[in-house]
Amino acid sequence: MPPGFGPGWPGRLLFWIAVAFSLFQIATAFNVPLDHRFIGITLVDVLRATMAVWLVWIVVQAVRSQPYLGMVLAWIPIFVVVELLARFGGSLPNQILRTLHVGFLCLVAGGLLAQHKSHTTTARVLAWSLAGIGFVIGLYHWVLYEELVSRAGEVTPADLVVGISAITVIFIICWRFMGPALPIVSGLFLAYCLFGQWLPAPLNHRGYSLEQVIEHMAFGTEGLYATPTGVSATFIFLFILFGSFLEKAGMIQLFTDIAMGLFGSARGGPAKVAVFSSAMMGTISGSGVANVVSTGQFTIPLMKRFGYRAAFAGGVEATASMGGQIMPPVMGAVAFIMAETIDVPYADVVQAAIVPAILYYTAAFLAVHLEAGKRGLVGLPRHELPSAGKALATKWYLILPLAVLVYLLFSGYTPLFSGSVGLALTVVLILGGSIALGIGPIALRVLFWVGLGLLCAFFFWYGILVMVGIVLLLILASLMTRGGTETVAACREALADGARQAIPVGVACAVVGIVIGTMTLTGVGTIFGNAVVAVGEQSLFLALVLTMIVSLILGMGIPTIPNYIITSSIAAPILLKLGVPLIVSHMFVFYFGIMADLTPPVALAAFAAAPIAKESGFKISFQAIKIAMAGFVIPFMAVYDPALMLQPVQGVTGFAYVLGAIYIIGKALLAVCLWGAATIGFLKRDMAVWERALAAAAAASLVLALPITDEIGFGLAALLIGLHLWRARSAERASA
């Protein structure tokens, strides 16, 4: 059992609840037809018979005075999942899926709170009570589904109690897991629903009763169970599980070894390793603060050991980790929510994100390179580093699930199907690898893998159930081979870890639904929007600056997903009204919501790096802003020229569009490089103050979309480079 679930039978029960939660999500994602009949028998019948046999076995063990408590603790939650799925034949209505998803989140989260070492008995009882209430609320929706649908809009006293309890429980859990920022923001929106009619015009609304607000927030699809919760219950949970299994398979170690092998010996190698490994981590997790804590434990001390200042080392890790939020294909799971919100294919979102992500990491890479040059920092000794080629040669197969995932996504398959296949393929590799170790002759191993690959290919014709069948067969085979039991246990731990990692994301999606519900109920977003649009009619740049400030403020202290949902609900429609393309407007607010985690005074990512770097969070934050300057520059440039995000430009097609895209990307690259030189103060040698000012002026000119500013920017850049090289050569001749 992985650490974190606590000791004793409550910890074991919680572990199995988490496993059952993940199995529930997998079953609903795979859309397993439990009511499909084969020879007169359904899968429900098979599952119930299996549970009955398991229960009989537990009784036999108890009679024989053999250990049976662990099996009881496993049987109960899995039995509950089977029955939850059985009622609707495995294909749950959307509303039931969302409510049970939140119910399971509350159950696991409350249990984790109860298992906290510092809690008293009273606190543990209260935490388990929260867990139970949250799950019972999910069951309430499951049991009374038809009745609730038939009387939609009518709130009974029981509904009122359930709705208030649901909001209260989820707010408490969010506060305990994620801090006060998001509950306070959502609480203010909820208060506006209830009391906004007393505010002066134009801030007031017509007024809503408690029953209307509760019905809207806790029973419809606009509050706790809005689109973000739906995405959490499908795409996000599945991709979190995908990342959990990849981690168990050794993907993180593979990324680290490749990064160390490629860049460890280069100038400023440790910092470049941090940038590259965090970028790779972002492709599967996209959790910024989590990346800081995980990869930062290794990279920050390494950077400090080789001469980087503590604040700069923390800033590099914070910047690189937050970049994972904008790195396709996962993008902190925001890519899926954005695609659902604006109703565009997932591939379009990834297409818009890929060039800015590359520019962001290029700027970060350049910053650490220049800092290393300025301070004369060298890389790690080559003999201490792993070989990137050897790492790939021995673990290349770990790339397959990610490659298949990307291929399916860009081939037009849904994210849910693609994620399901990627997850199943990862499990196949883990279990298959364990079985292959027990096969002696190499020829037989090759034959085993070829046969397994051909079987997996059948999913293109027969669907995801092929992968389910293969996984079940591999589990049975693993249990009968040496070392296979440990491999199955590792998969079980990955299921539990995935459920635990999903709690902050899922809870945040539910709580931020209150903001969405307030928008749809009261229309409050239009008040701010109209004011900014009025400014934008005079100056688009000023409107963009105002939108940036709002996005930074709204994003402070709030994780990526709710961050995007809030900013896109309030600020993105403003840019759309001002003529900014749909995806670009959403990317604009998303980027600045991300930058909020690097911006003082909150700067979550910087403060997460502070205890590791043993430095002030504020100092780390200021360094991070300098390194991540591309994140502040690119969104503005994309608004003025959408080709930077590979979006269509009105009236420009064909070869002219390609040339325009190359031009804007090259201009953006030069601009972020100039910003890096200006902030670090180094190119070929230390830069004078006037050189840094000249670099900043050139970069600003390239960003501004005004007449002849491009020409001015290119001219200033050429002047800077020429003068700097002349000064560097003069200094070399003088010292010779």
CA proximity to 266, closest of 361, 360, 355, 388 = 388
Q: Residues 70-114: pLDDT tens digits?
A: 677 777 888 888 888 877 766 788 888 999 999 999 999 998 888
Q: What does the pLDDT look like over 334-393, one tens digit per residue?
A: 777 888 888 888 888 888 989 999 999 999 889 888 988 888 887 778 877 888 888 888
User: In this prediction, what percent of the chain has a pLDDT beyond 70?
Assistant: 93
- Cα distances (Å, whole numbers) of residue 268 to 368, 378, 592, 601, 621: 7, 5, 28, 29, 20
pLDDT at residue 287 greater than cutoff 70:
no
Three-state DSSP state, 90:
coil
pTM to 2 decimals? 0.83
CA distance 677 to 674: 5
Report CA-CA distances (Å) from 597 to 289, 321, 676, 728. Answer: 9, 11, 20, 38
Which contiguous run of DSSP H or E holds residue 123?
helix 121-143
Residue with tokens 């001469």: 307
Q: Where are the alpha helices (DSSP H) in 144-201?
A: 145-150, 157-178, 181-195
Burial 295-323 (b: 16+ CB within 10 A, else e): bbebbbbbbbebbbbbbbbbbbbbbbbbb
pLDDT value, residue 282:
66
Model confidence at 694: pLDDT above 90: yes
Tell me the mean pLDDT in the region 191-195.
91
State the average pLDDT over residues 124-133: 90
- Predicted local distance difference test score (pLDDT) of residue 355: 92
The helix or strand, by DSSP H or E, that contains position 77, with its residue range, turns out to be helix 69-86
Name the residue among 38, 138, 35, 97 with its Cα closest to residue 416: 97
Q: Which residue in 606, 670, 626 sits closest to 321, CA to CA?
A: 606
The mean pLDDT of 199-213, rounded to a whole number, is 85
- Find how far residue 421's CA is from the centre of its chain: 19
Mean pLDDT (the chain, rounded) = 83
Q: How confident is the model at residue 307 (pLDDT cuts 50, 70, 90)?
A: confident
Helix axes 251-263, 237-249, angle to 10 degrees: 70
| pLDDT above 50 for 188 | yes
Closest CA to 316 of 299, 332, 331, 330: 299
For position 38, what pLDDT does the model report? 64
Q: Shortest CA distance to 335 belongs to which of 404, 405, 276, 397?
A: 405
From CA 120, how far away is CA 682, in angstroms rounded? 56
Kindly report the backbone phi and psi dihedral angles of residue 422, in degrees, each rounded to the nearest multiple of 5, phi listed first: -60, -45
pLDDT over 80 (residue 524): no
CB 232 within 8 A of CB 104: no
What letter does residue 438 receive in the DSSP assignment? T
164 vs 54, residue with greater confidence: 164
Q: Which residues, 6+ apart, have CB-to-CB distance to 173 below 8 Å?
A: 105, 106, 109, 110, 113, 130, 134, 507
If phi > 0 it is left, if psi is from -120 to 50 it is alpha, else beta; for residue 482 that is beta
Instruction: Look at residue 591 and tell me whether its pLDDT is greater than 80.
Output: yes
* H or E element, residue 37: strand 37-38
Largest distance between two CA atoms of the chain: 93
pLDDT at site 669: 92
Cross-strand partners of 649: 652
Which letter, b or e, does each residue of 682-706 get, where b requires 16 or more Cβ atoms within 10 Å of its Cβ? Answer: bbebebeeebbebbbbbbbbbbbee
What's the CA gap between 627 and 643, in Å, rounded? 24
Per-residue pLDDT at 1: 44
The pair of structure tokens assigned to 550 is 């709002």
| Bridge partner list, 468 | none
Q: Say which DSSP state 607 is in.
A: H
Average pLDDT, integer, range 597-619: 85
711-731 average pLDDT score: 90
Please state, in angstroms and rounded to a whole number, the distance separating the CA atoms of residues 276 and 369.
Answer: 13
Helix (H), strand (E) at residue 455: helix 442-457
Q: How many CB atoms lie within 10 A of CB 207?
A: 13
Query: Cβ-count burial of 586 within 10 angstroms (0-12 exposed, 13-18 middle, 19+ buried)?
Result: buried
Report whether pLDDT(164) > 80. yes
Crossing angle of helices 334-342 and 560-570, in 10° steps, is 30
Residue 511 · residue 170 · CB < 8 Å: yes
